[in-house]
Amino acid sequence: MSNVGFRIFTQINRPDPSLIEAFRGVPAANIGDCLNRSSQLDARISKISKGNVLGPAFTVKSRAGDNLLLHKALDMAQPGDVIVFDAHGDLTNAITGELMMQTAVRKKLGGVIIDGAIRDLATLREMDLPIFAAGVTPAGPYKDGPGEINVPVSIGSVVVHPGDIIVGDDDGIVVVRPGDAADIAAKARKKHAAEEEKMASIKAGTLNTDWIDKELAAKGCEIIDGVYR
């Protein structure tokens, strides 16, 4: 009999490292655009420390304010894994702080994303570990459970599966399913290159903006050569 709601799966299907590396250096915004803007975490989950996130999701969920399963996840996660913790967006109690995140640094994790609160902000800001969270509070967590590890979780309005590719920078977090990764990475790199070309045109003053009037005309916008009265 399965103890649904209080169980741990010890293994996940991690993507081939080449699939993950295909996203290195590509802005999260470009990746999100190529996913039709459908796989970005809510803006309330923001970056609070140094570095960018890139790695496979190691998922955790627990009841609000409880971090027992996060302690176990830190024991289990492998170097490069990104712990994605579903705390239901609750900000009443901090799910983690300096001590636990030092363990994540020692284990060389790829990052930690908390849909909930953290504490010890001043120290976490300076850590060599990408950390994203929804808020900050001095109130500490409980350690009672229940919870689950390596099951699908809902975080920042996006469903994240164990092994999904997590990419994050100053703009936020985007989630890519491994089966889509090769195609999305290629599209995102192409889009990023196109934007770099456009930036060069902007700086040179040669950017063609004729498309704006064409788009307005196509949508029926009236342009009046005169002053509003």
- What's CA 16's distance to the chain center, in Å? 19
What pLDDT digit, counting tens, does each position of 55-68 carry?
Answer: 999 999 999 999 99
Confidence of residue 2 (pLDDT cuts 50, 70, 90): confident
Q: Is the pLDDT assigned to residue 192 strictly greater than 70?
A: yes
Could you list the residues known to form a binding site, using ranges: 97-100, 119-120
Q: What confidence tens digit (pLDDT) does each residue in 119-146 have?
A: 999 999 999 999 999 999 999 999 999 9
Coil/strand/helix, residue 215? helix
* DSSP category for residue 167: E
Kindly report the CATH number assigned to the domain that includes residue 16. Answer: 3.50.30.40
Q: Which residues are annotated as a binding site for substrate?
A: 97-100, 119
Structural domains in the chain (count): 1
pLDDT one-digit tens code per residue, 18-41: 999 999 999 999 999 999 999 999
Report the percentage of the chain scoring pLDDT > 90.
98
Domain range holding 31? 7-188
Whether the bond into 130 is cis, omega within 30 of 0:
no
Q: Both tokens of residue 123?
A: 């120290």
Q: How far apart are CA 89 and CA 229, in angstroms?
A: 49
Residue 22: DSSP 8-state: T
Residue 1 has pLDDT above 70, yes or no: no
In the chain, which residue ranges form alpha helices assigned H by DSSP?
A: 17-21, 28-34, 68-76, 98-106, 121-125, 178-204, 210-218
CB 48 within 8 A of CB 124: yes
Is residue 91 one of the residues assigned to a domain? Answer: yes
In a domain, residue 138? The reply is: yes
pTM: 0.93
Q: What are phi and psi of 36, to 5 degrees?
A: 55, 35
Task: Decide if 221 is inside a domain.
Answer: no
Residue 92 lies in a domain: yes
In a domain, 229, yes or no: no
Rg (alpha carbons) of the chain, rounded to whole number: 21
pLDDT at 15: 96
Mean pLDDT for all residues in the chain: 96
Identity of the residue numbered 153: V
Known binding residues for Mg(2+):
120
